[in-house]
Amino acid sequence: MRLSGLAKGEQGVVQGLDVTGHGGAIEEAELERRLLEMGFVEGAHVKVLHEGLFGRDPIAVKLDDMRVALRRREADAILMDAVPA
C-alpha cells in the first residue's frame, strides 16, 4: 500500500520508499533523499489531513509531529503499513 492511496483521515506507518518511476523532473535518487530529509523515513507515522480541491490533490499530511504538503505523485513513492484509524 502506498501513501498516494490513502484518503482523508486514513493513516499508516512508512515502511519504505520505492522511488522507481517517480522522479519526474528529478533523479529518482534525488527524490528519495528529499523525502528522507523531509522526514519520510521508515517508521514515521503519517495521517492524511487534507486533500486539494481538484482531483483530491495535493495532500496535506501529519508526519510524526509536523505537517507536510505533497502531491499524490510523490506520495506514490512512499510505501505504507496501514494503521486502523
Partner 1 sequence: MSDTALPTRIALVGNPNSGKTALFNALTGSRQKVANYPGVTVERKEGSVTTPAGRRALVLDLPGTYSLRARSPDEMVTRDVVLGHLAGETPPDILVCVADATNLRLVLRLVLELKQVGRPMVLALNMFDIAERQGIRIDLAGLSQALGVPIVTTVAVRKRGLEALLAEVDRLTGQAAIAAAWHQPSAGDLRESARQAERILKAHVKPPLRPDTLTGKLDGLLLHPVAGTLILFAILFLMFQAVFTWASPAMDLIDASFAQIGGWVGAVLPDGLLHSFIVDGIIAGVGSVVIFLPQILILFFFIILLEDFGYMARAAFLMDKMMGVAGLHGRAFIPLLSSFACAIPGIMSARVIDNRRDRLTTILVAPLTTCSARIPVYTLIIAAFIPPRQVYGMSLQGLVMLGLYAAGISSALIVAFIIRRIIWRSASEPFLIELPAYKTPDAWNVARGVWQRGQIFLQRAGTTIFAMMVLIWVLATFPYAPADATGPAINYSFAGMIGHAMLPVFAPIGFNWEMAVALVPGMAAREVAVGALGTVYSIAGDNTAGLAATLASKWSLASALAFLAWYVFAPQCMATLGVVRRETGGWFWMWVMFGYMTGLAYIAALITYRIALSFGAG
Q: For residues 2-31, which are near partner 1 according to CB under 8 A? A: 23-26, 29, 31
Q: Taking the complex as a whole, how short is the minimal distance between the CB of residue 84 and partner 1, in angstroms?
A: 20
Q: List, in order, residues 6 or more apart from 81 with CB less than 8 Å away.
A: 1, 12, 13, 15
Position 47 contacts partner 1 (CB under 8 A): no
Position 80 contacts partner 1 (CB under 8 A): no
Position 54 contacts partner 1 (CB under 8 A): yes
